[in-house]
Amino acid sequence: MIRRRFRLAALLSAFLVVAISLGCVAIAGGSRSSAAQTAVRTATSSPAGHVPAPGSTGPGGASGRPAIPANGRLYFGVSSSVATLPAFESAAGIERPAILGGYIGGTDDVSTVLDDVDDLPSTAPMVSWGVDFTGGKVVSGAWDSYLYRQARAVAAFGRPVFLRLDWEMNATWYGLWGDGYVSPADYVAAWQHVWEVFQDAGAGNAAFVWSPNTGRFSSLAASAWYPGDRYVDWVGIDTYPSADNEATVLAGADGLDVLAAFSQQHDKPVMLAEWAPTAPQPDRRGVFDLVFSWADQHPATVKALVYFNYPTQGRDHLLVDFPVGASALRSLVKQHGGRLLYTVGAARAAGGTNG
């Protein structure tokens, strides 16, 4: 098993500890606290620098976006620090994940996450990127210098990248982009601007993942925040099932089944972008059975499962701390055999598949 650089592991671990100290927002609908999980920092000033002229491009070498798996097949991935990744791999019974996710704030460099897969050539990074969408700053162009730098870094990376921008926007716990802080119209406009910057910079290897949370948190459906088919490559879904919310998670307002149907209507592959059991809730296999059963019921739509392997604000999601659940996951991984993919290739053309 490959061991990655532990200097980065130490930095990311320290980063998460700082985030945990920021405080917890009470949650509903099967999610978890916000600031502790994300390590997103509040942006306080616009980055300085020259804004590239329209039509300029970043460094060459960008491959295609991540290929979409064939029906019935799934990328199996994890969001994790590099320090806890080996323990996750062992507990899950896998050699490597297809997707390795990490979190950055709206003034951080995407290279923080991209570097984590340097030694994993078949693994695609997923950058969960919390950008400040308040006040019209993005649409005004005030952040363009910073955004172009990130887009060019992605293009120069030269491999498929998942870019999960401002997730769980339909919930109320993210003050820089969530419901109650940014209107759906302003969210959509800012998202589209970021997408346009990435296209202009030649970052065609980035797949944009729009990722609401399961559950209804206001009178608005999650679809109100949908940026539009042109601007979204994957629909991600975040959910944290427990014994007392499984029915709601599956079939409630903006539940898994509803969001899967929405994705199918828009011809978008689905990624379960965050999921895990949550301690101190009991260690049980029900969460794992629910997730894999749901994926099996939607073979033409659900194409990736990405486990959330972090401890946050007294809510532990580390797989190694759920021996019953980990045993169930190993069994499910074995049962699904060749249906689970651990290599992310680049799509050769629109609609291209992998496996």
Count how many Cα atoms sit within 13 Å of the Cα of residue 260 in the half-sphere of its side chain. 21
**Top-confidence residue, 159 or 26:** 159
Closest by CA position to 151, among listed 127, 176, 122 = 127
DSSP H stretches of helix in 174-322: 184-200, 246-251, 256-265, 286-297
**Tokens (6 digits) for 303:** 């194409």
- pTM of the predicted model, to two decimals? 0.84
pLDDT in tens, 248-279: 999 999 999 999 999 999 999 999 999 999 99
Residue 319 pLDDT > 50? yes
Residues whose CB falls within 8 Å of the CB of residue 295, separated by 6 or more in sequence, listed in order: 74, 272, 302, 305
**Domains of the chain: residue spans and CATH:** 6-42+61-354 (3.20.20.80)
pLDDT of residue 355: 66
Of the candidates 89, 95, 196, 274, the residue annotated as catalytic is 274
Pick the range with the lowest mean pLDDT from 96-100, 214-218, 326-330, 340-344: 214-218
Cα distance between residue 208 and residue 139, in whole Å: 18
Mean pLDDT of the 338-349 span:
90
Of the candidates 89, 95, 168, 196, the residue annotated as catalytic is 168
What's the one-letter identity of residue 115? Answer: D
pLDDT in tens, 199-243: 999 999 999 999 999 999 999 999 999 999 999 999 999 999 998
Percent of the chain clearing pLDDT 70 (strictly above): 81
Tell me the CA distances in angstroms from 163 to 92, 280, 286, one per residue in order. Answer: 25, 31, 30
pLDDT in tens, 46-90: 333 323 333 333 334 467 999 999 999 999 999 999 999 999 999
Residue 15 pLDDT > 50? no
**Tokens (6 digits) for 161:** 């990248």
Kindly report the backbone phi and psi dihedral angles of residue 210, in degrees, each rounded to the nearest multiple of 5, phi listed first: -95, 120
- Packing angle of the helix pair 144-157, 184-200 (nearest 10 deg): 50
What is the three-class DSSP state of 299? Answer: coil
Cα distance between residue 85 and residue 289, in whole Å: 22
Is 168 a catalytic site residue? yes
pLDDT of residue 237: 97
Mean pLDDT of the 332-341 span:
97
The gap from C-alpha 285 to its chain's centroid, in whole angstroms, comes to 23
Cα distance between residue 314 and residue 33, in whole Å: 9
Beta-sheet strands, E only, within the chain: 68-69, 74-79, 99-105, 124-130, 161-165, 206-210, 234-238, 270-274, 302-308, 311-312, 315-316, 340-341, 353-354
Residue 330 pLDDT > 80? yes
Residue 16 pLDDT > 70? no
* DSSP character string of 37-86: HH-PPPP-SPPPSPPPPTT----S---PPBPEEPTT-EEEEEE--TTTHH
